[in-house]
Amino acid sequence: SRRRLFGYAGAAGLGGVAGVVAGRASAANGEAPVAQDVVGRTHSPYGEQQAGIFTPKTMTGELVAFDLAPDTDRAALGRLLRAWTGDIVALMTGRPPAGDFAPDMAQAAVSLTVLVGFGPRVFELEGLAGRRPAGFQDIPPMAHDRLQDRWSGGDLLAWVSADDATSVAHAVRRLSTDAAPFASVRWRQRGFWRPLDQTGAPVTGRNLFGQVDGSANPTGDLLRETVLSTDDWLAGGTQLVVRRIEMNLDTWDEATRSRQEASVGRDLPEGAPLSGGVEHDDVDLAATVDGSPVIALDAHARVSHPSQNSGRRMLRRGLNYTAEEWTDAGLVETSGLIFSAFQANIADQFIPVQRSLDQLDALNEWTTAIGSAVFAIPPGFSEGGWIGEGLLA
């Protein structure tokens, strides 16, 4: 588990001097302990799955989607994936990748992972037409969507996660530079999360509505069954949906607290079901009070619940975002969620749940999907192997 440093050395090394002061003050008052600094992990690049699916969520991340150049064929894509694999092994272990112009920036213990995926057009390349995984498809248009091209689609994905934004920026630059002869950047989405409490212990974390988000994610065998494909070259890999979902914080703030809680079916302080219990308990959809359901019929947690969707599940791993842009009306600020969901089969799992939410979800009042993309995520690799080898070799 995460290494927690409560001593001065850790804080001094990572610039957490304010934390030292806070930590001492609160300890003297007998309050909850405050971590003075938390050092990240160094994940192994090798394994049955790529890192970045089941590894713990990190403080920051950037998803970068690329369009393949017209002359990038199957063989060229294989060359890029071999180069990227070398970069990823080096970056994750804190060594400079080959040819890095900023070799001093490589750093271990920042929980860095890079997850690579293929967009639908890869399966239109010569020699790959028959290899599109079952159920791997774009999300059909939904009534509440306001999709923009600039946040949608993509032939290749590199999703860099880390507990340090400098390391993310360095990794993205390295990967984009190596990709340049083969592919150009289509979109970049930067996000953040707070997966730790004040003592450094892992927590689910909150989206920008203030909701605890991720509580009902499957765990254990159910998680693996939900996420991992058994299909041909994708076996041990998964399918990923990325949706950029704008959240209207102004109108959300106008809603009463009880209405905010009712719209999901969980409370705001802990993420506990309104039907009772604590955060990770399941919502009791049968519970009633005075003959009315405790969890409203349009509550997000009811409409998306596996029991209402023939047992369909997914692993959600979203990141918060804020963005500023100049428009005719001046500088506009927006906020939202880079919603992402892993499942073995997009058509069987994600799409039916998304359709129900599009029709019934109370949250639709405040949320609008403005981007949508899908990626087939190849399985992990071992030493000497490379990402996507099973498809491209």
Q: Which range of residues in 155-163, 228-236, 324-332, 335-343 is near ligand HEM by CB under 6 A?
A: 335-343
User: Contact with ligand HEM (CB under 6 A): which of 118, 136, 151, 339?
Assistant: 339
User: Contact with ligand HEM (CB under 6 A): which of 35, 63, 353, 387?
Assistant: 353
* Nearest distance, CB of residue 287 and ligand HEM, angstroms: 14
DSSP-based three-state secondary structure for 9: helix
Residue 321 interacts with ligand HEM (CB under 6 A): yes or no: no
DSSP-based three-state secondary structure for 151: helix
Q: Is 360 exposed, middle or buried (0-12, 13-18, 19+ CB in 10 A)?
A: middle
Q: Which is nearer to ligand HEM, 43 or 302 (CB)?
A: 302
* Nearest distance, CB of residue 365 and ligand HEM, angstroms: 11
Q: Which residues pair with 359 in a beta bridge?
A: none
Query: 181 is written with which tokens?
Result: 């002869």
In this structure, the number of other CB atoms found within 10 A of the CB of residue 286 comes to 10
35 sits in which H/E element: none
Q: Which amino acid is at 224?
A: R
* Nearest distance, CB of residue 176 and ligand HEM, angstroms: 28
For residue 115, the Cα-to-chain-centroid distance in whole angstroms is: 10
In the numeric block, the tokens 């020699």 are attached to: 127
Contacts (CB under 6 A) with ligand HEM, residues 172-231: 207, 209, 211, 213-216
* Nearest distance, CB of residue 369 and ligand HEM, angstroms: 7
Q: Which range of residues in 76-84, 231-239, 334-342, 384-392 is near ligand HEM by CB under 6 A?
A: 334-342
Query: 253 is written with which tokens?
Result: 């703030």
* Nearest distance, CB of residue 194 and ligand HEM, angstroms: 15
In the numeric block, the tokens 């491209």 are attached to: 392
Instruction: Tell me the C-alpha distance between 197 and 199, whole Å.
Output: 5
Contacts (CB under 6 A) with ligand HEM, residues 239-298: 243, 245, 247, 264, 266, 271, 283
Judge whether 240 and 158 are in contact, CB under 8 Å. no
Q: Which residues pair with 245 in a beta bridge?
A: 337, 369
In the numeric block, the tokens 């946040």 are attached to: 151
* Nearest distance, CB of residue 114 and ligand HEM, angstroms: 24
| Total site size for ligand HEM, rule CB under 6 A | 30
Residues 357, 141, 135, 385: what is their CA dihedral angle, to the nearest 10 degrees? -100
Residue 306 interacts with ligand HEM (CB under 6 A): yes or no: yes
Q: Which range of residues in 81-89, 154-162, 188-196, 304-312 is near ligand HEM by CB under 6 A?
A: 304-312
Whether 213 is catalytic is yes
What residues line the site for ligand HEM (CB under 6 A)?
207, 209, 211, 213-216, 243, 245, 247, 264, 266, 271, 283, 300-301, 304-306, 314, 316, 337, 339, 341, 350, 353-354, 357, 363, 367
Q: Any idea which residues carry the catalytic annotation?
A: 213
